[in-house]
Structure 1
Amino acid sequence: MTMKAMIFAAGFGTRLYPLTATRPKALLEVHGTPLLELIITRLRWYGFRELIINVHHFADQIIQFLEARQYFGLEIQISRENDHLLDTGGGLKCAAWFFADGAPFLVHNVDILSDLDLRALYASHLHTKALATLAVSTRPSTRCLLFNQDSVLCGWQNRQTQEQKIVRLADAELLPLAFSGVHVIDPALFAFMPKQEVFSIIDVYLQAAATHRIIAFPHDHTRWIDVGKKENLARASEIVQALRQKEGW
């Protein structure tokens, strides 16, 4: 089975300004290598051969970069969000045609670096036959997803405002876990997407979780960092060095 993946690379990189004033976040370098190349390299290393990348901010730079690298020897398609950003849910919906084969696929934010075993995440999703499997951890985060004792998504919480949205009842206290920007999705999720263009994938998950299983994939034992924050760039370089040594690329 050919494994497919999508990379979210359309964002403005506002938190990284002024580094993103003249180039897209996806092409910011960490330890001498653009973020997009790092994510593509890891996906290829774990056996993903067909990718689609959404683009908006400095889209032509990303396309020129891929052409110069001969698309890293993979089948890579581009999903252009020309007029405006579609957010994570809308961006995925726009690329739905790429996943018409009905097989589960992986989605990866371009500004997330980790040593998460992507093959294990994908295999776990196939085993549980969930609608989606979300990489999560117990790290500090203002917004968390709430899971029951069976690792099934039941709601969402803003720890700062104490706002909660519960979509599935549970017999015990729910466990708050932070979403890590990496997930595996069954194409059946597209049936839950709204008609509008711009929306968050988290909202779709919460709607679907009322009747279908969205499963947690905890990875507290792994390295993980959000490179979308300037203060994390130095530590990101350390993670890249560790990744190259561990995975051999």
Structure 2
Amino acid sequence: MKRLRISGKIIGLLSGLLVTGNFIGALLATLLGHFLFDFKENNGSNYADNEVLDDQLSSFKANILRSILSVSVYFVLKTKNRILVSDINTIKEYFIEHFRFDMNDIVLIEKNIINLMNQSELIDIRSISSVVNQNCLYNEKINIIELLFILGSPNFQFDETKIISAIANLLNIKRFDFNLIKGRFCDTSKYFTILELDTNASIKDIKKAYRRLVAIHHPDKAKENYDKEKFQTILEAYNYLINNSSIGS
């Protein structure tokens, strides 16, 4: 840096003497040379700093992208064992609308999904959740949970809710917020109907109804009248309602 400034002064001094032939002209040219070299030096330094900042922002954005996509791919493969084109389109649309991405990131999103599908066995949901917690705002984590519910099956299954609930816990989502999101996607009334209960039934009522229905439909009780699908439906309804903390005791 100092060498550049000294070079600027020397060049200015010599140029001033040659052009004006006097000391005052040489002095003014020296100051001008110093200013120009100092400006170039500082401007170049700022430009380099901006490049580093752009690289850091790009890396930060890519890190968030891959982390959120990892959670999404993990859930879909865990519940469906494959990712459909409709799932990919849903993820892309949701990313553009709710996260820090735009249409220019579409190709990057698709490429990351394909890479994650091919390396699904390497997805460590705990480690990924830790990265998300470090880099995402709370409302963005809420959006992740909402996206998982959107990616779920139309008739939401208990196992799907259980997986999303586990992910929500890893992302430090408040139970109240989780239940609000779940309520928008899961029709709990059908589970009360299966157990032959009103929707205002308590946990005690649910357990009582479950025991009564199991006594009728269990394979050891029903024997030749055993209906496997009916019995599985009762189990699913009971498990769903008993694990819903918003139901009073």
Using the size of structure 2 for normalisation, the TM-score is 0.28
The structure richer in helix per residue is: 2
When Rg is computed on C-alpha atoms for both structures, the one with the higher figure is 2
Using the size of structure 1 for normalisation, the TM-score is 0.28
Which structure is higher in RCO with an 8 Å CA cutoff and minimum separation 6?
A: 1
The structure richer in strand per residue is: 1
